[in-house]
């Protein structure tokens, strides 16, 4: 009996005193795109809790949230001017490239996470381009990947927001996510990392979706599921609009 009690005592002593887990949620699980859609702002809430009830937590903590949009195949092309004619001379393909990617942190990345953690989680976003480049991590892939990330950053589709997570208490936080007006339609993932002393101690992934509704959704679905009908309707609308414009201006 004494040996059993001693073994239990040693086991408890070996267990981490501040083992953590994360409870999180997204303010809006479904973002609907209508004709008046000009972007959306979502709130990401979370609280850090002890993995074993009754055990006190020992912070301070930091948070990194990585939001990834629907994956798409992309092609980056380089245009050059040859004798006054612009032509595509080089290109690089990227498979399953995120249409949206944002990193929101509670401080500067190098101050809240170790280089090993950042590398394991593929942060910052430029790593995403190198990972998905067709042909591997080559100088061409790196050059085109940097340009692709730069262009998508200018469009608001790739972001790194340091000091974007606000702590409401020692263990509760909130982060704001802004989606652009031309955000891709489909499923999104928000992967949250809890860090202490620059090391990962807990993580959790939440999902939300962005989808078109009403007439926009009808056009989107028709263009992919019934391309012939979609093309005929577009031609009919163009002819009708042209005829109506001619009647109006003739008067």
Query: Is the model more confident about 6 or about 210?
Result: 210
| Pick from 26-40, 197-211, 219-233: least confident | 219-233
CB-based burial of residue 35 (10 Å sphere; 0-12 exposed, 13-18 middle, 19+ buried)? exposed
pLDDT band at 12 (very low <50, low <70, confident <90, very high): very low
- Cis bond upstream, residue 124 (ω within 30): yes
pLDDT digits (tens, 9 = 90+) for 81-116: 777 777 767 778 888 888 999 999 999 999 999 999
Asked whether the beta carbons of 42 and 176 are under 8 A apart, the reply is: yes
Average pLDDT over residues 5-12: 41
Q: How confident is the model at residue 135 (pLDDT cuts 50, 70, 90)?
A: low
Q: Which CATH superfamily is domain 11-212 in?
A: Macroglobulin (MG2) domain (2.60.40.1930)
| pLDDT surpasses 50 at 1 | no
* Three-state DSSP class for residue 247: helix
Which pair of tokens denotes residue 100? 């949206």
Q: What is the pTM of this model?
A: 0.72
Q: Which residues are CB-contacts of 1 (< 8 A; sequence separation ≥ 6)?
A: none
236 vs 44 pLDDT, higher one = 44
Q: Helices (DSSP H) in the chain: which residue ranges?
A: 2-14, 109-112, 115-120, 126-132, 139-154, 214-225, 227-250
Helices of type H across 30-179 = 109-112, 115-120, 126-132, 139-154
The fraction of the chain above a pLDDT of 70, given in percent, is 77
Confidence at residue 15, expressed as pLDDT on a 0 to 100 scale: 39
Tens digits of residue pLDDT in 13-68: 433 445 888 999 999 888 887 767 778 899 999 999 988 877 788 879 999 999 99
Mean pLDDT value across residues 66-87: 81
| Sequence spans of domains, the chain | 11-212, 213-251
Task: Name the token pair of 103.
Answer: 């990193």
163 φψ region: left (φ > 0), alpha (ψ -120 to 50), beta (else): left
For the chain, give me the number of helices (H) and strands (E)?
7, 12
């Amino acid at each position: 009996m004494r040996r059993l009690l001693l073994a239990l005592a040693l086991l408890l002593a070996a267990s981490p005193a501040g083992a953590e887990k994360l409870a999180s949620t997204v303010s809006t699980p479904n973002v609907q795109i209508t004709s008046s859609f000009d972007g959306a702002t979502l709130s990401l809430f979370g609280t850090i809790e002890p993995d074993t009830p009754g055990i006190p937590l020992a912070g301070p903590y930091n948070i990194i949230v990585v939001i990834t949009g629907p994956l798409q195949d992309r092609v980056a092309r380089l245009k050059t001017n040859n004798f006054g004619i612009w032509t595509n001379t080089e290109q690089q393909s990227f498979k399953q490239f995120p249409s949206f990617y944002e990193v929101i942190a509670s401080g500067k990345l190098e101050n809240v996470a170790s280089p090993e953690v950042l590398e394991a989680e593929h942060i910052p976003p430029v790593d995403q381009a190198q990972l998905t480049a067709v042909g591997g991590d080559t100088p061409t892939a790196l050059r085109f990947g940097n340009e692709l990330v730069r262009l998508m950053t200018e469009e608001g589709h790739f972001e790194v927001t340091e000091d974007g997570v606000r702590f409401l208490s020692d263990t509760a936080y909130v982060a704001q996510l802004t989606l652009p007006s031309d955000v891709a339609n489909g499923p999104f993932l928000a992967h949250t990392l809890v860090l202490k002393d620059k090391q990962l101690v807990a993580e959790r992934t939440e999902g939300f979706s962005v989808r078109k509704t009403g007439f926009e959704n009808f056009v989107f679905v028709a263009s992919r599921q019934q391309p012939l009908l979609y093309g005929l309707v577009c031609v009919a609308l163009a002819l009708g609009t042209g005829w109506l414009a001619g009647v109006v201006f003739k008067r």
